[in-house]
């Protein structure tokens, strides 16, 4: 089943490029990406799109609440059972 593209093409393009930049430079988004690839066994492309969705939800929340970005709210700490 083919998925339909939704939304503005330029917005999708720049969100994708921003996500690639964040995965490469920001430790919070890098951790999300690495967890998706290593623990959840996603392909790198699938992980990038999942992180892109997370980025979109973060941006919407920041605009709605008028709050700055806080990494503590973004990443759940992954605790291993002893």
Cα Rg of the chain (Å, integer): 14
3-state secondary structure of 28: helix
Between CA 78 and CA 44 the distance in angstroms is 20
For position 7, what pLDDT does the model report?
86
User: What does each of the 82 residues of the chain score in pLDDT, given as a tens digit?
Assistant: 677 888 899 999 999 999 999 999 999 999 999 999 999 999 999 999 999 999 999 999 999 999 999 888 887 655 555 4
For position 82, what pLDDT does the model report?
46
Per domain, the residue ranges of the chain are 9-74
Q: Supply the pTM of this predicted model.
A: 0.82
Q: Is 60 in contact with 38 (CB distance < 8 Å)? A: no
């Amino acid at each position: 089943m083919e998925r339909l593209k939704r939304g503005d093409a330029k917005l999708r393009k720049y969100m994708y490029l921003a996500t690639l930049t964040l995965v490469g430079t920001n430790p919070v988004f890098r951790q999300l990406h690495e967890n998706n690839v290593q623990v959840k066994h996603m392909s790198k492309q699938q992980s990038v799109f999942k992180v892109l969705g997370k980025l979109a939800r973060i941006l919407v929340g920041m605009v709605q609440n008028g709050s700055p970005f806080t990494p503590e709210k973004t990443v759940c700490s992954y605790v291993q059972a002893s």
